[in-house]
Structure 1
């Protein structure tokens, strides 16, 4: 069986350095808001081309803290892509804000800027762009819209470590970007971890307060914050792995090229190849009108796949109030998407076998 993902194997090249880093933290006696976190925040901000990085507990709370720091009035609207992962929308609801769904571009599967402006009302405060599967949204078009309407442009970059827009990493951040370092990500920790990246010094400072109960000085609370801190062990792990991110992303691009050049099955819709160098290729997502049969066939061939994601948010039980909303493009995408194996330990031989098997599907 070719596994979809094997985290033990992916982390194996870093094992000794990871063990040494964890041991260093354990022996230090300092486990929260220490030197490892400060070092990672500096390193990741520089990597992203931004002025500030604030380490937090996970990607969901990174999004939540951005919205909390902006302090939008309750009931304000945030424009979101309809086909994102549920975390993007949970962050909006947690702050008593209202998600406004926008259909994706059926080719890129990202929020369609041509449909955004018609959704803007006098209650709209922000656009949340999600760099789904590792591909950057059309940030230039979205920035033009936010400037015209005086809105904030946030990004969910949980799947887009190292991705670029027009060749530059800083251009995909927006006013503030939320990252997740969940173990399966391109830059993965050994547990939950996240960060907010921004060049807005005022916003970064407020988020530093909010992540620590609203305090920067012990027992003195300037805001009603939460407990959401990237701990020293996870920061040390990320410091070990960050220098390898570009090389690992390049390996993902090599595999993506093999798939794009080799898969010829007419019934399979491949991701667009126009941003190969800018895409982080977190996932290689294809579409087939008979997903169940296609997935079963690949399983018989010893190829493990995944589905990101089988059910759109507005059809989830948790969001029954939106069940009557019609989003046909989103609903079709969720019926058809399949994620093929693509990771840093997948070999050329394995990818060739996957390509051959796909092309033989009847």
Structure 2
């Protein structure tokens, strides 16, 4: 049997009539940038997330970068984030001229550890970017308390966690702003690049709308230096179709995760931990095993696609060697990088496929 890590074609075929119709309507209308679908998607995402404003942008990386810029994070400032994540969370800090500072992660959730945050705050610290890794929100109450104590911004990197909840609040709605990615592999993905910023702050929202469109809210009149970071109409139309199904897909992901948990029970495998105050949306189902590389090879040889998130922690990347970090500085993150392996996870995944995946894992571990 062949089991893909992610199956986007099955999802498309299920929605083909709706998606094709939405695309055709955009093509026939002839309005391709910042049109009615973008505006409606912004309203729908804001409502979905429980916030006042949603600002569509070109991609999830721009969502982070523009938010940092709108908050006047610049050279000489420091931003605390996690090293166990995709590069963009730190990269965008560097792009605006500030310095990323890395805090270690919680051993259970793999999210940034609030105690580790507190230890690395300096007089230069201006913001914290917790990443809601793999679809589970970070422990936001202590993070917000630390931010309040030190007068810091909190930007929720919710790229992997749209629809996730912490004590009933959805990802992106707790900090000064939250950012989403609509990269095709995300729980809500378009058929290209796309991103969104959500916030309850009126002033921040207004500035972000300027920044995404060359610093202009009136054609050929520019009040600030901005960027070209706009979501196009076709992608917005596709996302509006898919958004209607997101809650259903989330429940299917959660069902699949719980079934994996039952199948893997009793094995020398660390399965994902779901904190009691959280609703995990399982963007990825990531296990941890001692011989990760050996298991990865065996599964791939037997038709099971897997992925390693992430093979090298961000603080040890070559580009950040000047920051002075060395192996052993953030041991929990580094250990997670050595042990983590993502198994196939998508709403349409069948129990038969999951049984096949876990049977191959049992085979390998019993050798």
Same fold (TM over 0.5): yes
Q: For residue 168 of structure 1, report the CA deviation from its aligned partner.
A: 2.2
- Measure, in 1, the Cα distance between the counterparts of 2:85 and 2:23: 34
Aligned length: 362
Deviation (angstroms), 1:190: 0.5
Q: Could you tell me how far 1:69 is from its partner in structure 2?
A: 0.3
The answer to whether structure 1 residue 250 and structure 2 residue 272 are counterparts is no
Q: Deviations over 1:194-251 (max 9, x none)?
A: 0100011110110000000000001111110000001111111111100100000000
1:295 deviates by: 1.1
More displaced, 139-148 or 41-50?
Answer: 139-148
DSSP-derived class of the 1:100 partner = strand
Q: Which residue of 2 aligns with 1:264?
A: 265
CA distance in structure 2 between the partners assigned to 1:76 and 1:276 by the alignment: 32
Give the structure 2 partner of residue 295 of structure 1.
296
Which shifted more, 320-329 or 266-275?
Answer: 320-329
Q: Is the 2:171–2:178 Cα contact (8 Å) retained in structure 1?
A: no
> What aligned pairs does 1:122-141 form with structure 2 within 5 A after superposition?
122-141=123-142
Aligned to 2:8: 7
Equivalent residue runs for 1:109-148 within 5 Å: 109-148=110-149
**CA distance in 2 between partners of 1:30 and 1:136 (Å):** 37
Q: Specify whether residues 86 and 255 from structure 1 end up closer, same or farther in structure 2 by C-alpha distance, changes over 3 A only.
A: same
Long gaps (5+) in structure 1: none
> SS state of the match for residue 127, structure 1?
strand
Question: Bigger shift: 75-84 or 161-170?
Answer: 161-170
Q: Name the CA distance, whole Å, in 2 between partners of 1:20 and 1:289.
A: 48
CA contact (8 A) 1:4 1:342 kept: yes
Instruction: Measure, in 1, the Cα distance between the counterparts of 2:9 and 2:358.
Output: 25
> 1:159 & 1:333 partners in 2: Cα distance?
18
1 CA distance for matches of 2:339 and 2:173? 27
Structure 1 partner of 2:213: 212
Aligned partner of 1:341 among 341, 344, 352: 344
CA distance in 2, matches of 1:17, 1:75: 49
Aligned to 1:238: 239
Tell me if 1:353 matches 2:360. no
Q: What's the Cα RMSD here?
A: 1.5
Give the superposition deviation at 1:15.
1.2
Distance 1:175 1:120 in 2: 18
Quote the Cα distance in structure 2 between the aligned partners of 1:72 and 1:324.
Answer: 22
Q: Which runs of 5+ in 2 are unaligned?
A: none
TM-aligned CA distance change 1:158 to 1:62, over 3 Å: same
**CA offset at residue 71 of structure 1?**
0.8
- Maintained 8 Å contact 1:211/1:226: yes
User: 2:157 & 2:172 partners in 1: Cα distance?
Assistant: 13
Q: Structure 2-normalised TM-score?
A: 0.95
Residue deviations 1:313-334, cap 9 Å, x none? 1222333324643222221111
- Matched residue of 2:130: which SS? strand
Structure 2 distance, partners of 1:141, 1:132, is 17
d(CA) in 1 for partners of 2:53 and 2:21? Answer: 27
Q: Counterpart of 2:54?
A: 53
Partner of 2:69: 68
Q: Deviations over 1:253-305 (max 9, x none)?
A: 00010011220353211111334971111000111111111112222332111
Q: What CA distance in whole angstroms lies between the structure 2 residues aligned with 1:162 and 1:101? A: 26
Alignment of 1:114-193 (within 5 A): 114-169=115-170, 173-193=174-194
TM-score (norm 1): 0.96
Quick one: distance in 1 between partners of 2:265 and 2:216?
A: 57
Kept in 2: contact 1:49–1:170 (CA 8 A)? no
- Deviation of residue 8 (structure 1)? 1.3
Secondary structure of the corresponding residue to residue 130 of structure 1: coil
Distance verdict in 2 for CA 1:83–1:277, change over 3 Å: closer
User: C-alpha displacement at 1:11, in angstroms?
Assistant: 1.9
